Amino acid sequence: MDGILGKKLGMTQIYSDDGLALPVTVVQAGPCLVVQRKTAETDGYEAVQVGLVEDNAPKANQAANGHFQKAGVAPMRHLVEFPVEDGSEAAPGDQFKASVFSEDEYVDVAGTSKGKGFQGVIKRHGFGGGRATHGSMFHRAPGSIGRSATPSRVFPGQKMPGRMGGERVTVKNLKVVKVDDENNLLYLRGAVPGSAGGYLTIQRAKRG
């Protein structure tokens, strides 16, 4: 498998062999179970549907229960598909853990970023704002958003206030500093999207 599902536990620091303090994100990576094997003959493409095993199993409706029972696994809350090569031997019920990755590997981590609600242009887009003194009355406002008679409209994509965060974000090329196979933990150097407890998709990086 080139990927695994996980949950963000939080950030800490660990020390390298040469004494450097490394900022790391601790991720509960797996255990994961294969729920469905999709093939070119039945689905038009090659993939596996994978679920993250959690301590508190969710309640599922009748249709979902039938899907999980067909694979012989308990209901799971978080399911993701991973592409696989034609002829892969992955089958429903197969389990894999954090050991699919090794130390010093690089991974891409995708998750949902923290939602920040409705924000202005300074926080959302990094605008500089106006002067803060001498009664300018122009401090954190966006300023002009378009021209007048020509073209008499605001161009699409204009940076304006609006909803910030809560989006799908991928952070690429994070180094795997440590793999705790016994506890299914990955220590990734740097930050990953989302808050503690958020779901993550971790895949082997495609570095050029």
Tens of pLDDT along 78-135? 898 888 887 677 788 888 888 888 888 999 999 999 999 999 999 999 999 999 999 9
pLDDT on residue 74: 87
CB neighbours of 172 closer than 8 A, spacing ≥ 6?
Answer: 108, 205
Lowest mean pLDDT among 63-72, 123-132, 151-160, 168-177: 63-72
Q: Is the peptide bond before 31 cis (omega within 30 degrees of 0)?
A: yes
Amino acid at 151: P
**What pLDDT, in 10s, does the model give residues 32-77?**
888 888 888 888 888 888 999 888 878 888 888 898 888 888 888 8
Lowest mean pLDDT among 14-23, 26-35, 150-159, 199-208: 199-208
pLDDT on residue 109: 94
pLDDT on residue 208: 46
Whole-prediction pTM = 0.82
Kindly tell me the burial class for residue 64, based on how many C-beta atoms sit within 10 Å of its own C-beta (0-12, 13-18, 19 or more).
Answer: middle
3-state secondary structure 46-113: CEEEEEECCCCCCCCCHHHHHHHHHHCCCCCCCEEEEECCCCCCCCCCCEECHHHCCCCCEEEEEEEC
pLDDT on residue 12: 94
Give the CA dihedral 206, 81, 190, 119, nearest 10 degrees: 120
CA distances from 129 to 134, 143, 155, 162 (A): 14, 9, 21, 16
Q: pLDDT band at 159, cuts 50/70/90?
A: very high
pLDDT on residue 86: 76
Q: Which CATH number fits domain 3-116+168-204: 3.40.50.300, 3.40.50.10860, 3.30.930.10, 2.40.30.10?
A: 2.40.30.10
Q: Taking the domains of the chain in order of start, what are their residue ranges?
A: 3-116+168-204, 120-164
Q: pLDDT band at 140, cuts 50/70/90?
A: very high
Mean of pLDDT over the chain: 89
